[in-house]
Chain A
Amino acid sequence: AQSVSQHNHHVILSEAASLELGCNYSYGGTVNLFWYVQYPGQHLQLLLKYFSGDPLVKGIKGFEAEFIKSKFSFNLRKPSVQWSDTAEYFCAVTGGTGTASKLTFGTGTRLQVTL
């Protein structure tokens, strides 16, 4: 069974600081990897996804993530965070190449950006 671990539960950063949120997954086959963001009071939105090809993927709002197969990791990064990045961030995985496979989520990381 697939699983996802997010090691940071709550991160507090000052504006302009760099961000890296850890995500490790467990699955024996081909995976698709995702980062979703949930801003306060809003629904889950896709930040970026990795399906195949270049392991460094760029998403919306300046976020990027790197798929490192040997480490089973898909860490999220942003060089300079803004106050508006305050949100909960979820790493998720689907196994296999099925079009409509279920998402398995990590526990989430709450990011708080201070001015």
Chain B
Amino acid sequence: EPEVTQTPSHQVTQMGQEVILRCVPISNHLYFYWYRQILGQKVEFLVSFYNNEISEKSEIFDDQFSVERPDGSNFTLKIRSTKLEDSAMYFCATNKGLGNYNEQFFGPGTRLTVL
């Protein structure tokens, strides 16, 4: 069964450094998302992406964050200058995007630790 994959599984970085989190969506899916979960808190929506542009973003997704699909396969989340409070589990999700509704399939997540 096709799966969403994410790399790395764990990223440790110093405050102020840039990080790029990578996601490989399921091949025929059209909609892509990033969510995050700070330890002990709920899963929060960050951004959705369709047709090579952002469809929707949350208040969390400020100028420090960006997304792109540079090579038509990987879907990346970049944090330009990490802060301590960016430490969280980051989940990528994808959606086939046909019909009234389709399930979002989640990747295993990347645990980001900012020191």
Contact = CB atoms under 8 A, between A and B. Distances in A.
B62 to A, nearest CB: 17
B115 to A, nearest CB: 23
Contacts of A94: 101
Contact of A100 (B35, B48, B58): B48
A70 interface: no
Interface string B57-85: 01000000000000000000000000000
Contacts of A92: 43
Pick from B43, B44, B45, B97 the residue with the most CB of A within 10 Å.
Answer: B43
Interface string A30-73: 00100010000011111001010000000000000000000000
A90 B43 contact: yes
State which size class the interface on B falls in. Answer: 20 to 34
B101 A43 contact: no
A49 B97 CA distance: 16
Interface residues of A, number: 22
A32 B102 CA distance: 11
Contacts of A105: 35, 42-44
Nearest to A46: B103
Interface of A: 32, 36, 42-46, 49, 51, 90, 92, 94, 97, 99-100, 102-108
> Which A-B residue pairs are the 3 nearest by beta carbons?
A100-B31, A44-B106, A105-B43
